[in-house]
Amino acid sequence: MKNMSITLRPMSANTGMEVLGIDLREPMGEQAYLEMRHALCDTGIICFHGQQLSPAHHLAFAKRFGAVPPAEFLKTPDGFPEIGIVAKQPGETRNIGGNWHSDHSFDSQAPLGAVLYARELPKSGGDTLFANMGAAFDSLSDGMKETLRGLEAVHAKAQSWHADTRPDRAVSPAELARHDEEFKDRQCVHPVVTRHPETGREILFVNPTYTSHFVGWAYAESRALLDYLFAHATSPENSCRFHWEEGSMVFWDNRSALHYALNDYHGQRRVMHRATIYAPG
Ligand code: SIN
C-alpha cells in the first residue's frame, strides 16, 4: 500500500525527527515525501525503525531525494555500486566516521545527505551522534555570528590524519606526508556560515575532522576559535544520540548536520549500508 501520510516525533529539542507509520518497501506518496524532506531540512536528520529493506529498496528511497553516484572509498555489495559498506570487523580497532564530521566537506560540492541502514549490529555500543549546525549557529551571540559571517575556512581530506584532529590515529610523519600528497587536490574553501539551500537558515559550516583553519588566520589562532565552535556545536543542547536496532535507518542532511560514529564495541562486528545523495547539478 502506498505510504500516504506519516507521523513525526522529535528525537530531541533541536536535532532529529523520527518518522512513524511508514513501510519503506512501499511506494512513497508525494505528501509523505514532502513532510520527510521538510523534517530533514529543519532538524538535520530523520530516522526510521522496524524496516526490512533490500539494497534495492534502500537505493530507491535514497534516489527519491537526489542523485546517488557510485560510492567512493568504500567496498560495495554485489550489483549495487552506489551503496558503500561501512563496516568494522571484530579484529579492527578503528571505525569509519569516528569523529564529528560532515561527509566530503573537503569537496566544493559536498553531498546533500546520506541514508545509512543497519545490516549487522553489535550487542551493545555503535550508536551514532548527530548535531544540528543550524541550531548551533542560532545559539551563538550576535557578536560571534557577525564575526563568523565574514570568515572562510579551509576543509581538507588529509586533515583527518593530523594529530590535532585525530590524536587516536597517531600516524607517523611519513604516513602523514603520504596522505597530504595523495589528497592534495581534495581540499577547498567554504564560507564559515552557509545558507541552507532549501530553508535559507544560516548554518555553521565547520567540522572537527576536515576543517583545518580560517583563511588568512594562523593555524594556532584558528584552532582556538574552531575548538570553541566545535564544543558549542556538539553540546547536548544541539545534538542527539541515535541507538541502532535491527531495521533502523537514518537519513542525515549533510548540509546542516554533523555526525559521529561511536567506536565503543571492540571485538564485535558492525555493518551498515550507506547511500550518499547529491543535489541535482
Ligand atoms: C559515517 O560517518 O558515514 C558512519 C556513520 C555510522 O557508521 O554510524
Q: Which residue has the cell 579551509?
A: 154
Q: How far apart are CA 194 and CA 205, in angstroms?
A: 6
Asked whether 111 lines ligand 1 (CB < 6 A), one says no
Q: Which amino acid is present at 180?
A: D
Query: What's the mean pLDDT in 66-71?
Result: 96
Residue 3 pLDDT greater than 70, yes or no: no
User: Helix (H, G, I), strand (E, B), or coil: what is residue 134?
Assistant: helix
The full length of the chain comes to: 281
What angle (nearest 5°) sits at the alpha carbon of residue 76, between those of residues 127 and 271? 25
> Which three cell numbers mark 26?
512501499
Measured in angstroms, how far is the CA atom of residue 261 from the centroid of ligand 1?
5
- pTM, to two decimals: 0.92
Asked whether 55 lines ligand 1 (CB < 6 A), one says no
Asked whether 259 lines ligand 1 (CB < 6 A), one says yes
> Which three cell numbers mark 219?
593555524
Query: What's the mean pLDDT in 171-180?
Result: 71
Chain mean pLDDT for the chain: 92
Sign of the alpha-carbon torsion through 181, 70, 93, 164: positive
Q: H/E element holding 213?
A: strand 211-214
The residue contributing the CA closest to ligand 1 atom 3 is 97
**pLDDT on residue 213:** 93
Measured from the Cα of 128, ligand 1's closest atom is: 8
The residue contributing the CA closest to ligand 1 atom 1 is 97
What angle (nearest 5°) sits at the alpha carbon of residue 158, between those of residues 153 and 222? 30
pLDDT digits (tens, 9 = 90+) for 190-217: 999 999 999 999 999 999 999 999 999 9
Residue 180 pLDDT greater than 80, yes or no: no
pLDDT digits (tens, 9 = 90+) for 217-240: 998 999 999 999 999 999 999 999
Measured in angstroms, how far is the CA atom of residue 116 from the centroid of ligand 1?
7
With beta carbons less than 8 A apart as the criterion, state whether 230 and 84 touch: no
pLDDT digits (tens, 9 = 90+) for 124-148: 999 999 999 999 999 999 999 999 9
With beta carbons less than 8 A apart as the criterion, state whether 151 and 220 touch: no
Backbone angles phi, psi at 227, to 5 degrees: -60, -40
Q: H/E element holding 194?
A: strand 193-195
Q: Which CATH class is domain 1-281?
A: alpha beta
Residue 175 pLDDT greater than 90, yes or no: no
Residue 165 pLDDT greater than 70, yes or no: no
Asked whether 97 lines ligand 1 (CB < 6 A), one says yes
Q: Which amino acid is present at 152?
A: E
The residue contributing the CA closest to ligand 1 atom 6 is 261
Measured in angstroms, how far is the CA atom of residue 92 from the centroid of ligand 1?
16
Measured in whole angstroms, how far is the alpha carbon of residue 191 from the centre of its chain? Answer: 18
DSSP assignment letter at 158: G
Asked whether 248 lines ligand 1 (CB < 6 A), one says no
| Cα Rg of the chain (Å, integer) | 18
Asked whether 272 lines ligand 1 (CB < 6 A), one says yes
Query: What's the mean pLDDT in 49-70?
Result: 97
Q: Which residue has the cell 546517488?
A: 68
